Structure 1
Amino acid sequence: MSVKLGINPLTWTNDDLPSLGGDTPLATCLTEGKQAGFAGFELGHKFPRDPELLKPILQRHELELVSGWYSGYLLERSVEEEIEAVQSHLQLLKAMGCKVMVFCEVTGCVHGDQGKPVSERPPFPAERWEEYGARLTEFARYTLSQGVQLAYHHHMGTVIETEAEVDALMQHTGPELGLLLDTGHMTYAGGDPVEVAKRWARRINHVHCKDIRANILKEARNRNSSFLNAVLDGAFTVPGDGCVDYPAVFKVLKDNDYQGWLVVEAEQDPSVAHPLTYATLGHNNLHAFARNAGLL
């Protein structure tokens, strides 16, 4: 597939903090996302999980389903248990024509706990890299056999968030596992998304384009904030409205023939950051970055 521009419904309504945009109907998200110029949406908690219901909704808005988040527990579950647990989600993505599944290991995660700083997230158990890598590779091999490749999402407040942890994950897993590069999460974790892209470009199969307001991130770190409080304070924004070097990131993607979705995923308080305004700004900036890099 060629590069396409998508968006996550977090711009309108937040999965981790449902009070944000809780009253916003799904139809509003889809209508405004299409109006802003996007070709597809990732799943959110307001989307029906039955493809027979979801397909006509997206078709009416002339949108595609990009992918959807899956919470993995392979540090606790066997591969067989994870395969059983993923079935309904996998079948939905297959039926909707998705090529990737967003996967994040959430054992012990703290990103959904507003009262817990991200600094209190559990460290990855170093003695388990080889075992976990083999387990995750086997699980990824299974979903790939079903036509959907895992895209591992490094995420603040989880066991794999830093540049070094992403490197270790890639080193201990096979090519069956793809990497979701999230520019905002990597920047928040103190890493360099450009360098991560350079090292693992051939494994990147999905990209989340979240920008960072550097001054607010500095304050969030100084206050030892939770992930959700950083969201409420405005640490995240759409591409081109923060400090991430998107031209450099996209040059790496172009040089390595990236083909897939570029997805705006920028959690903000919709009562402060007007969703249509920011969705439009995000699309226009993302389109310009991608066009200038030769991705479009």
Structure 2
Amino acid sequence: MSESKIRIGTAPDSWGVWFPNDPNQIPWERFLDEVQAAGYHWLELGPFGYLPTDAAQLADELAKRDLKLSAGTVFTGFHKGEEQWKRAWDQALDVAGLVSQLGVEHLVVIPDLWRSDATAEVLESRNLDNAEWKKLAAGHDKLGQALLEEYGIKQQFHSHADSHVGTYREVERFLQETDQAFTNLCLDTGHFAYYLGDNVKLMTAYPDRIGYLHLKQVEPNILADVLKNDMPFVEAVALGVMTEPGFEGVPELAPIIEKAAEINPDMFAIIEQDMYGCAIDFPFPIAQRTREHIFSCTQAARIR
């Protein structure tokens, strides 16, 4: 195994935060306190507007807890046509405009889902035709080039359950349709495993396209029911399909972290356990145990 190590962090998602404002979510000040107490140094911004959007205030709040940002997140729907550009760039102006002031070099980009992650409503066809694939790829390359030129930020595309890019073959096609100079992957290990994708196989086949990681596991017995019954992702999350690492979940994280360290020791691996709707006191001990599990199962992980 390589002696290289990658940076491990966490995200608001691991505290059940999906939206900028939700009275049932953990207050942002307590979230930051618990990230520090759980032993992390790096974290993602989460939904824009959850953490402070004033760069100076955010920098101060992070610094007094010895925390730093690894990435921000935006949402896109480029397969729908050119009118989606303004929507994506408006988000980028907010998110990249903020995080670039704090030295962030990555933007995680999540595609629109064909089935709502809030209501489970079917919004459109679950498959793209060839013309939609071309629109999707062209939109992401345009966004990636603009982010790089305007902010020095790299686009990292996140395949997702209930999206048009989820299976191994769909992710592979996305890579083949896009330009490595502007569009690479935030490989979410749980979302990729959700459709039975082999993370290490993809990383081995496309090492130069893996720019960022989200560390996550799925519970295989729950996943079997989800797939058999075509269950919406929001319902699958409520069942616990995204499970606490270190127990019965897949994929095994150590080989993925070690492969990432071989590819690029400066890569971030951000722990994300989808827990929207959980009680406020629930996530903190899980965050502690998850960090301890990762550092006990591999020597290819570092905090800073």
TM-score, structure 1 normalization: 0.88
2:109 partner SS? strand
CA–CA distance in structure 1, aligned partners of residues 285 and 85 of structure 2: 44
Question: Relative CO higher for 1 or 2, CA cutoff 8 Å, sep ≥ 6?
Answer: 2
1:86 Cα deviation after fit = 2.0
CA–CA distance in structure 2, aligned partners of residues 128 and 285 of structure 1: 41
Return 5+ residue gaps in structure 1 as ranges.
none
CA–CA distance in structure 1, aligned partners of residues 70 and 125 of structure 2: 29
1:48-87 correspondence runs (5 A):
48-75=52-79, 76-77=81-82, 81=86, 82-87=88-93
1:151 partner SS? strand
1:190 Cα deviation after fit = 2.1
Q: Out of 90, 107, 114, which is 1:109 matched to?
A: 114
User: Which residue is 1:44 aligned to?
Assistant: 46
Cα RMSD, aligned residues only:
2.6
User: Which residue is 2:274 aligned to?
Assistant: 267
Q: Out of 189, 193, 200, which is 2:199 matched to?
A: 193
CA–CA distance in structure 1, aligned partners of residues 261 and 26 of structure 2: 36
Q: Structure 2 vs 1, CA of residues 211 and 272 (structure 1 numbering), >3 Å: closer, same or farther?
A: farther
Give yes or no for contact 2:14–2:273 (8 Å, CA) kept in 1.
yes
Q: Out of 137, 142, 149, which is 1:138 matched to?
A: 142
1:275 Cα deviation after fit = 1.0
CA–CA distance in structure 2, aligned partners of residues 47 and 37 of structure 1: 19
Q: Out of 14, 24, 29, which is 1:11 matched to?
A: 14
1:40 Cα deviation after fit = 1.7
Paired residue total? 291
CA–CA distance in structure 2, aligned partners of residues 192 and 121 of structure 1: 25
User: Which residue is 2:165 aligned to?
Assistant: 160
Q: Structure 2 vs 1, CA of residues 272 and 62 (structure 1 numbering), >3 Å: closer, same or farther?
A: closer
CA–CA distance in structure 2, aligned partners of residues 32 and 202 of structure 1: 34
Deviations 1:189-226 (A, max 9, x none): 22111211112221111100011111111122233221
Question: What amino acid does structure 2 have at the position aligned with 1:232?
Answer: A
1:129 Cα deviation after fit = 2.9
Of the structure 1 ranges 141-150 and 128-137, higher mean CA displacement relative to structure 2 is found in: 128-137
1:73 Cα deviation after fit = 2.8
Give yes or no for contact 2:190–2:242 (8 Å, CA) kept in 1.
yes
1:74 Cα deviation after fit = 2.1
Question: What amino acid does structure 2 have at the position aligned with 1:48?
Answer: P
Q: Percent identity?
A: 21
CA–CA distance in structure 1, aligned partners of residues 111 and 268 of structure 2: 22
Give yes or no for contact 2:189–2:214 (8 Å, CA) kept in 1.
yes
1:240 partner SS? coil
2:8 partner SS? strand
Question: What amino acid does structure 2 have at the position aligned with 1:154?
Answer: S
Deviations 1:128-187 (A, max 9, x none): 334432332222112112210000000111121111111011111111212111010011
Give yes or no for contact 1:111–1:156 (8 Å, CA) kept in 2.
no
TM-score, structure 2 normalization: 0.86
1:116 Cα deviation after fit = 3.6
Deviations 1:3-54 (A, max 9, x none): 22111112223316976x8252112211111111111221234212221221
Give yes or no for contact 2:166–2:192 (8 Å, CA) kept in 1.
yes
Give yes or no for contact 2:6–2:260 (8 Å, CA) kept in 1.
no
Return 5+ residue gaps in structure 2 as ranges.
none
User: Which residue is 1:281 aligned to?
Assistant: 289
CA–CA distance in structure 1, aligned partners of residues 26 and 104 of structure 2: 25
User: Which residue is 2:250 aligned to?
Assistant: 243
Q: Structure 2 vs 1, CA of residues 85 and 182 (structure 1 numbering), >3 Å: closer, same or farther?
A: closer
1:295 Cα deviation after fit = 4.7
